A = this chain, B = another copy of it.
Amino acid sequence: MNQHKPKAVILLSGGLDSVTVLAMAKQQYDCYALSFSYGQRHDVELQAAKNIASLYNVSEHRVLNIDLGQLGGSALTDMNIEVPESSEQGIPVTYVPARNTIFLSYALAWAEVLEARDIFIGVNAVDYSGYPDCRPEYINAFGQMANLATKSAVEGNKITLHTPLISLSKGDIIKLGTANGVDYSKTVSCYSADAQGRACGRCDSCRLRKKGFEEAAISDPTLYY
């Protein structure tokens, strides 16, 4: 508990971006980390989220079970759709329908229960792989809606969505996180990581991450299988 700092809800996937956000938020906020078990293939990401939440000594870490796989439609949750190795044009099959909208809705609910006014999410519009729910115009619209949605907002406690990575390249994110002491060997980004959290090195997410370390001129600590 950090009684002197304001509370914030941090969406924590266990990937490179969200741990960078947590490291930044931690400096000014009393952090409550929120993760989801949503039928994702890369479940080791959740173990990484738990390790990171513990490492950063957050005030609370909740993992909500929400079975997005029940709705189907994505290679990340639907075992009938193959995860592609190379980048496609347009919005990829790894897109999960309305995922950030669902995640942010839960963050909003928890923020209201905690009486927190700040929500952090590590979306990125530069290397966003074509996901519509990572763009600034989407985030702004969610914020508008959020401030009409809750008892807390109606009573004057406006919610602020923080997206500190939204305009950064992957290389810049890695530089920023490294400057903030992030140990990226503890994060999992791969869509097809093995049970030990080792990465394939070939999926979209791995390629983007590799390229980031190259751009940042920082040695890549990722373990590949």
A: residues with CB less than 8 A from B are 62, 64-68, 70-73, 91, 95-102, 105-106, 108-110, 112-113, 132-133, 135, 137-138, 141-142, 144-146, 148-151, 153-155
Contact = CB atoms under 8 A, between A and B. Distances in A.
A12 B72 CA distance: 20
Contacts of A142: 145, 149
B132 A138 contact: no
Contacts of A138: 145, 148-149
Contacts of A144: 141, 144-145
* Chain copies in complex: 2
Nearest to A138: B148
Given A71-B110, A113-B97, A141 B151 contact: no
A150 B102 CA distance: 12
Contacts of A71: 62, 64, 106, 109-110, 113
**What is the predominant secondary structure among interface residues of chain A facing chain B?**
helix
Which of A64, A100, A102, A149: most chain B Cβ within 10 A? A149
Nearest to A133: B149
A99 B109 CA distance: 8
Contact of A98 (B96, B99, B105): B105
Contacts of A68: 109
Given A141-B145, A149-B98, A62 B73 contact: no
B66 A112 contact: no
Given A101-B108, A144-B145, 6 more contacts: A71-B109, A72-B113, A97-B110, A98-B106, A132-B150, A142-B145
Nearest to A144: B141
A181 to B, nearest CB: 31
B109 A135 contact: no
Contacts of A135: 148
Contacts of A133: 148-150
A102 B100 contact: no
